[in-house]
Structure 1
Amino acid sequence: MIKQKSKSRHETEPRSFLDDNTDFERWLRAQCKVVEEDLDEKHKKMKDDPFVFLRATFFRWATCIEALCPELKDAPRVLSVGDTHTENFGTWRDAEGRLVWGVNDFDEAASIAYPFDLVRLATSARLAPKAKKKKARAMTHVGNGDAAKAILDGYKKGLKRPQPSLLDEQASWMRAYVTCTDDERDEFWDEVEKYTRAKPPSPVAVTLRKKLPPDASFDRFATRVAGVGSLGRPRFLAVAEWCGGKVVREAKALVPSAWDWAHDQRGKLRFLELAKGPYRAPDPHLALESQSGFVIRRLAPDSRKINLGDHANMRLELNLLNVMGFDIGAIHAATGASKKIIEDLDQRDSDWLHAAAKAAAAFVEDDFKQWRRHG
């Protein structure tokens, strides 16, 4: 059972980012066998820009956000995504083969006051790079106030009329933003060829092979470096040949949410509770290997996280932020708390999300500067 404790570490005593980072990584090493080279890579990425830093440091958000926005912490609590941001969305195929878009990472799921999923999403929109570094092409500029409004409008719609975003049906307009290009398909399979061979723990290896098609010709186990916030946690892959092409399954170590760590609660894995909850069209390949705590998923060009800076068509525009808010609303609606949330929203002024994201972004930028000065 989770202990009910409302105060975070940061509320009880001021701490520097460096102290929180050290304590969190010490805790992480007690939860899984950390890949130290990947953790070093995470440390380097954290110096890229405030947006990447935000993605990498949900543990810090969890310790500080209630103290930073005390007017939000007593709002209705729901099972939340936790680590919401503009790059925590992707595509997958459901059991009917339909292409689905939505939140695709629930590693940090926890019971949290509902506004904080929205604040983190709006904060990430504020911090998102305004230009593509790789392709040197300007992204559409989105005003911060308009971004917060679009997220909140979408969220309210998701609460009232929750459903998944099916790119073959009502959300077909999103294909121009999120479907995989030919170049991205080639890049994906090129990377598969380069994955380093590895030996997973026995239970993980058995589960990975079971998740392959029954008559697939197994090729090898491998590992890869991916993500930002999850860097340091081991990942293993099974690569096989099936019906004339390759298929890939990934196992990623799943640990309790950093929210639980920050609030001195005994963690509980809630990944599948949200990923396969009501109003979702889940990936049928998604599973949890309970003995070792690895989450298993299919990897493919049409089943992956979509990063703004890497995807050729992705634009951070108001209609995209609106559907991101919608998906968060649908996820929260699945908890049965829609009525309480709507009542709480009706009591808040129209600028609350913009103001909270502004304060949170400034805090993240200060932490980022401290990290850049460190080492």
Structure 2
Amino acid sequence: MSFRDDNKEYEKWLAKQCAIVQRDIKYKHQRMKENAFIFLRATYFRWAKKIGDWCPELMDATKVLAVGDLHLENFGTWRDADGRLVWGVNDFDEAAEMPYVLDLVRLATSIQLAPRSAVDHQDAASALLQGYHEGLKHPQPALLFENRTWLRPYAEPDEGEAEEFWDDIEKYPKPHPRPREVEKVLEASLPKGASDIRLCQIFKKGGGSLGRPRYAVIAKWREGLVVREAKALVPSAWTWAHDPTRYEKSSFLKAANGRYRSPDPFLTVHKKFIFRRISADSKKIELGKSAGRKLHFKLLHAMAFDLASIHAASPAGREAIEADLRKRPRGWLQAAATVANGKVRRDYQQWRG
């Protein structure tokens, strides 16, 4: 099937999983024309369906609970149960059991597709593999005031970014209709004594998740504002691509709360919605728009290290992954990412028409 055919089929399937927001779907279609990197972010369903055809040599690799929709901008910060600032993968909407190499290849492909990227593709693949090997040996979370202090500049908001965050929050409209069950859970997650509580709907946020209902409650608490978000959770697009008739429970929380992570205590799932705290200092880190300025090999190393820490918690075990890595020929990651890069760009050009 062509990309356009798959896009229609996926959106039909998605409409059976949640009450899709048509204005966000329309916005997503527009964004997908901006550049190939945004297109990759918005179309994990196509990747899940076609990567086995594009790179069949990857499909016999050890299976783990993988991120699925991994890319340069699927990293961010949060506060753990002890209030520590943590950095790492922060979106597990598409988590599922699959060959571990697919996460590495998708991350490498996103680097190749990033606008104005000045990173050599071979060097990038080498940095990813080095970081991944080290992460398998010593899996651990990245704590920005302890073991990964050099990452803090990436987590600090740019000038005016915090103000922009709160300005956006104030502009969110009231939802119609009002999702009473979601509203109750959001309000229950607020600090005791919160006042001036307002429920709103969030539009035009996210990449691949655009089109899913997303809500927030905003409240005043001790002279400041607090925000809690709810986003519809659906089965991974990996399920749609490989067995769309079978219901499969989301692996979101299992992956997010893995053995070698320091998880976000506000992150929960209830009745097909993801609930979390959002704030100006707990956010995704955007790199795709300015990769040439911000992206360097130490950061790529850290990304792959965190990915390995996620994979290492799978029952297959680190030894099985390491044994599979040793069998891979020299240059396999760059070669697979280059093939995937070309296929994604072909789909992107077809979408632009």
Matched residues, percent identical? 53
User: In the alignment, which of 339, 347, 351 is matched to residue 327 of structure 2?
Assistant: 347
User: In the alignment, which of 62, 74, 77 is matched to residue 91 of structure 1?
Assistant: 77
Runs of 4+ in 1 over 6 A off after TM superposition: 310-314
Determine helix, strand or coil for the equivalent of 1:296.
strand
Pairs within 5 Å for 1:238-317? 238-264=217-243, 265-289=246-270, 291=271, 293-308=272-287, 315-317=294-296
Can you give the 5+ residue segments of structure 1 that lack an aligned partner in the other structure? 1-14, 131-138
Contact 1:178 1:313 in 2 (8 A): no
The residue type equivalent to 1:175 in the other structure is: R
Can you give the 5+ residue segments of structure 2 that lack an aligned partner in the other structure? none
Pairs within 5 Å for 1:7-86? 15-86=1-72
Q: Does 1:157 align with 2:134?
A: yes
Q: Does 1:357 align with 2:334?
A: no
Contact 2:114 2:288 in 1 (8 A): no
Q: Distance in 1 between matches of 2:13 and 2:24?
A: 16
Q: TM-score, normalised by structure 2?
A: 0.96
- The total of aligned residue pairs comes to 348
Q: Distance in 1 between matches of 2:196 and 2:81?
A: 23
Contact 1:235 1:253 in 2 (8 A): yes
Q: TM-score, normalised by structure 1?
A: 0.90
The residue type equivalent to 1:210 in the other structure is: A
Determine helix, strand or coil for the equivalent of 1:357.
helix
Contact 2:154 2:285 in 1 (8 A): no
Q: Distance in 2 between matches of 1:94 and 1:306?
A: 17
From the two aligned structures, give the one with the greater helix fraction.
2
Q: Does 1:193 align with 2:170?
A: yes
Deviations 1:166-219 (A, max 9, x none): 001110001122222341111111111111122542221111001111211142
Q: Which residue of 1 aligns with 2:194?
A: 216
- Cα deviation, residue 313, structure 1: 11
Q: Which residue of 1 aligns with 2:216?
A: 237
Q: Which residue of 2 aligns with 1:322?
A: 301
Taking a change above 3 Å as real, the CA distance of residues 347 and 313 of structure 1, as seen in their structure-2 partners, is: closer
Q: Distance in 2 between matches of 1:350 and 1:309?
A: 27
Q: Distance in 2 between matches of 1:333 and 1:364?
A: 29
The residue type equivalent to 1:67 in the other structure is: D
Determine helix, strand or coil for the equivalent of 1:284.
coil
Taking a change above 3 Å as real, the CA distance of residues 115 and 90 of structure 1, as seen in their structure-2 partners, is: same
